[in-house]
Amino acid sequence: MSCAIADTETNVIAAPNAPVLHHMIPSLTKPAVAWPMLMAYDDKKFLSNRKKMVKNGYSLPPRKSLICRWAGAIFLFSASVLGISIMLSGVFPGPKVHCGDSGCTWSLRPSLLLDEDTMKTVQASPTTEQIFDAHVAHPWVRTGIIGVTALDEGPFALMLFSIGLALRRLGGKRREPLAEALPWLRRASLAAMIWAIGRPLSDSLIVSLLSPGTPEGRQWAITVDMLDIGTALMLTVAAYATVWALEAGLEAQRDLERFV
């Protein structure tokens, strides 16, 4: 009795004087090179499908993009106005606007820079207020007011500026808007940390700077509210950690794209 045996390379090994069963096994008659070509095609198709699973970029819908750009413009405008007010704080200390039936009037009253109790003492008589105004008129006092105002409002202006640029990046038509917006959000959180610490320090410095013109005379005051500082720092650290986590996620996505 004769039989035919087929090996793994689709070649037929027949016994002597045995008929070859090509007509019974048609798949064995196909060339062996067809299988590697088919496997290569399947691999390319599989890789193509995997790449489609990872998006190279994205953008917000038109309406949300417009809202982000307008919100960013508002933040940038607010930051620019705040920056101008810092530079003019020494030139116009204690601005006051009073509106009544006859309209609105604008005047300078430097005593408004003081805390409430000291302000009432200075404004109690015209003489004490004139003495205080003469003290504020010194150039070194005006320069000090600019420096203290910059310490108080400068980090806040930088935070507004960073948030504005982040929103503009997020609403722009870019390949990776979130990846471009996150660094500015990280800078905004760092500016908020500085502002949380610098604001109470500026309150102490302004008292020390203006106290020589008050009836109490020169005094050094350190006013620090640890509850306010701690709360502000906790919020800013939470914002920074959120941005850091988002950046780490985007970096992992880039690694996946390079792998795929």
Which residue, 233, 253, 231, is CA-closest to 241? 233
- How high is the pLDDT of residue 146? 92
Give the model's confidence band at 82: pLDDT under 50 very low, under 70 low, under 90 confident, else very high: very high
Mean pLDDT for 22-26 is 47
Helix residue spans in the chain (DSSP H)? 34-53, 62-88, 116-122, 126-136, 139-170, 177-210, 226-259
Tell whether the model's pLDDT for residue 11 goes beyond 50.
no
Lowest mean pLDDT segment, chosen from 22-26, 175-179, 226-230: 22-26
Say how far apart CA 258 and CA 260 lie, in whole Å. 5
How much is the pTM?
0.69
Q: Counting beta carbons within 10 angstroms of the beta carbon of residue 237, is it exposed (0 to 12), middle (13 to 18) or buried (19 or more)?
A: middle
Q: Counting beta carbons within 10 angstroms of the beta carbon of residue 230, is it exposed (0 to 12), middle (13 to 18) or buried (19 or more)?
A: exposed
Say how far apart CA 90 and CA 20 lie, in whole Å. 105
Instruction: Report the chain's mean pLDDT, rounded to a whole number.
Output: 76
- How high is the pLDDT of residue 180? 85
Tell whether the model's pLDDT for residue 228 goes beyond 70.
yes
| pLDDT tens per residue across span 30-57 | 454 444 444 444 444 444 444 444 454 5
